Amino acid sequence: MTLDVFLALAAFALCLAAASPPVTGALARLPLLSRLRAACARLLQRRFLVLCALAALPALALRALWLTRLPGGLSADEAFIAVNARFLICTGRDLSGSFLPPFLKGAGSLPSMGILTPLLTAPFVQALGMTVLAVRLPALLLSMGSLALMAGLMRRACGRSCALLVLLLGGLSPWAFMSARFATPAHALLFCLLLGAFLLGGVLPSRRPHARLYGGAAALAACMYTVDVAWLLAPLVLAGYAVSLARRGFAKRHIAASAALFLLLSVPALCVAAVNLLGLEPFRLLGLEIERFDVPSFLTRFAFAGGWSAAWEAVRQGFIEFVGYLLLNIHTDEYTPSGIWTLWNQESAYAFLVPFLAVGACALAARLRPGRRGAGMPLALLGASLALFLLFTGFDSQEMYFVPAAVALVASAGMWAVARKLRLGLPAVAALVVAASLPMASAYFDEEYMYTTEGQYREGLVEAIEYARALEPDTLYVTKELHPTVQPELTARAYACFALDVPAGQTDGFEVVYFPSLAPDPASNAVYVGGYGEIDAFDYDAYNCAEFGDYCVLSSVAVYGVLEQP
């Protein structure tokens, strides 16, 4: 019996035992288990923050260990974020030359990227320079902040033990700690979404309800500048909490004022949405560039637009993908490296979550009554996830980054419900999470996994460009054949600017070219950086070939002499 089958059967057994009065009654009559349960309750009451810190330590370790070495290299999104962070903070213009665009035309795996992530990264780039640490550290911090907010939401909904469970599940799951190790706008999306929900959900009762209300609206407005899926999610979350607060008697003028604040702060993002979803012409708004994406947003790909037969196939495929997300086995698209979300050998390791998801949904639904807070948010987030999968096609896994978080929230509620019914249920469900996660965590840091992902992050490209610069050529040519990306030429420019550490606003010192169109002259003081498959037109005897991972640097033997391998 494989580990995933064993864990799934154990989870089903725990859920069935929790639903069986004879079993729960027999366990409740055991004096030893009753004393242990009472001791655990006292520990939760008195040392809750200490327990949270202990649960967060392995999560932090998995995210921080070898942060700059694994994943090796640099993803296209990371290079794009770092370069735009410097350009925007120093000149107000992005890599394409647009002035403060609310959304940047994507150069990596996304057709567009909100301005928030580069702006959040800018202080780290200013302090640490154009380095891998500068671009990955903000992602790590946002990931840990999201984990803390998930714990806060579930403590409000189900109690302290549930908060510990979501810390454990969200901290150790591969989708969480693996994605936290590289930069992506998905981190800002999830953090702002959870922050807005946490603040709005705590308006009543609160000593400072107005601060929470307006702060939550501002957080959701910031969410609008992350990825395009936020154009749907953020208004829906705000509307849901507004209706809830109105039904509970909160002052309607403040609810309306918070909605007005959200709309005011979101005007540029809403204009970008209108241009790209409604087909309007690009324009300028108070100097800001409202642009049309080169690749349409997935929100324009409605599943029912191609007739009923095509719609049925799209809905079926969307449901299958949604089930994969429920198992935290996230499949990526052609642009996103396949090894950044889940391990190649994960498969059904988290199938044991299925019964807990069912129990959690029932437990949260049972708490949807006056006097209870926080139970609706996880259910609404998971329901919105299913609706998006069924209604739209062709989205990127980064745009759906909030879905695994919703799965973790609902599943932790199911674990909490089982633990309430069974004596020692909490250690049992925690053991399931650890048993599923530890093999995945150890496999992630294995040398074999590092080798399988080095090409996905273009390992060696940055080092190759740095080496080429050290040769002081008259012309430095960088290949633009960086596939698969949304805009290969812009991606190559981002990598070159990152490697050369160019000042903000300057993109000279190199040329991005298509190698087969070149006529290389062995007598010229030019250096070429490209992949091995692009150098067939070169005379190997006339050029030095310095190797850097999947990339090489060609320099003329006549000019530089014979150079040793670096």
CA quadruple 29, 30, 35, 37: dihedral positive or negative? negative
Q: Higher model confidence: residue 339 or residue 374?
A: 374
| pLDDT mean over 109-120 | 90
Q: Higher model confidence: residue 121 or residue 560?
A: 121
Range in 254-263, 291-300, 412-421, 448-457 with the lowest mean pLDDT: 448-457
Q: Higher model confidence: residue 121 or residue 509?
A: 121
| pLDDT mean over 98-105 | 90
| pLDDT mean over 11-15 | 90
Provide the pLDDT for residue 177: 85
Q: Higher model confidence: residue 408 or residue 482?
A: 408
Provide the pLDDT for residue 446: 72
Which tokens sit at 469? 């610069």
Provide the pLDDT for residue 190: 96
Cβ atoms of residues 126 and 172 within 8 Å: no
Range in 192-206, 262-276, 431-445 with the lowest mean pLDDT: 431-445
| pLDDT mean over 435-464 | 75
The Cβ of residue 441 has, within 10 Å, a number of other Cβ atoms equal to 19
As a whole number of angstroms, the distance between CA 372 and CA 374 comes to 7
Provide the pLDDT for residue 340: 46
Provide the pLDDT for residue 395: 78
21 to 17, 31, 166, 186, 365: CA distances (angstroms): 8, 18, 27, 44, 21
Provide the pLDDT for residue 494: 92
Encode pLDDT of 70-81 as tens digits: 888 888 889 999
- Three-state SS for 276? helix
The Cβ of residue 527 has, within 10 Å, a number of other Cβ atoms equal to 29
Residue 337 has pLDDT above 50, yes or no: no
Residue 335 has pLDDT above 50, yes or no: no
Torsions phi, psi for 407 (to 5 deg): -60, -45
Provide the pLDDT for residue 83: 94
| pLDDT mean over 180-190 | 92
| pLDDT mean over 231-252 | 93
Cβ atoms of residues 393 and 314 within 8 Å: yes
| pLDDT mean over 438-465 | 75
Provide the pLDDT for residue 518: 83
Encode pLDDT of 38-64 as tens digits: 777 777 777 888 889 998 999 999 999
As a whole number of angstroms, the distance between CA 23 and CA 17 comes to 6
Encode pLDDT of 190-238 as tens digits: 999 999 999 999 888 878 899 999 999 999 999 999 999 999 999 999 9
| pLDDT mean over 80-107 | 90
**Residue whose C-alpha is closest to residue 365's, from 380, 385, 384, 386:** 380
Residue 350 has pLDDT above 60, yes or no: yes
484 to 81, 375, 455: CA distances (angstroms): 18, 41, 12
Provide the pLDDT for residue 334: 44
Peptide bond into 282 cis (omega under 30): no
Provide the pLDDT for residue 258: 96
Q: What is the per-residue DSSP string for 47-77?
A: SHHHHHHHHHHHHHHHHHTTTTTSS-S--HH
Q: Higher model confidence: residue 159 or residue 218?
A: 218
What percent of the chain is predicted at pLDDT more than 90?
44
Query: Counting beta carbons within 10 angstroms of the beta carbon of residue 498, is it exposed (0 to 12), middle (13 to 18) or buried (19 or more)?
Result: buried
Q: Higher model confidence: residue 451 or residue 72?
A: 72
- Three-state SS for 478? strand
- What pLDDT band is residue 408 in, cutting at 50, 70 and 90? very high
- What pLDDT band is residue 454 in, cutting at 50, 70 and 90? low
Residue 128 has pLDDT above 90, yes or no: yes
Range in 146-150, 195-199, 297-301, 524-528 with the lowest mean pLDDT: 297-301
Residue 344 has pLDDT above 80, yes or no: no
Provide the pLDDT for residue 449: 61
Cβ atoms of residues 410 and 382 within 8 Å: yes
Mean pLDDT, the chain, rounded, equals 87
Range in 56-65, 118-127, 211-220, 395-404 with the lowest mean pLDDT: 395-404
Range in 86-90, 184-188, 301-305, 558-562 with the lowest mean pLDDT: 301-305
Pairing of strands 288-290, 543-548: unpaired
Provide the pLDDT for residue 385: 92
pTM: 0.92
Encode pLDDT of 521-562 as tens digits: 888 899 999 988 888 778 888 999 999 988 999 999 999 888
Torsions phi, psi for 166 (to 5 deg): -70, -30
Residue 332 has pLDDT above 60, yes or no: no
- What pLDDT band is residue 4 in, cutting at 50, 70 and 90? confident
Q: What is the per-residue DSSP string for 508-562?
A: -S-EEE-GGG----TTS-EEEEEEGGG-TTS-GGGEEEEEETTEEEEEEHHHH-P
Residue 113 has pLDDT above 60, yes or no: yes
Alpha helices in 345-487 (DSSP H): 353-366, 376-391, 402-421, 425-444, 447-453, 461-470
As a whole number of angstroms, the distance between CA 431 and CA 56 comes to 16
Provide the pLDDT for residue 339: 40
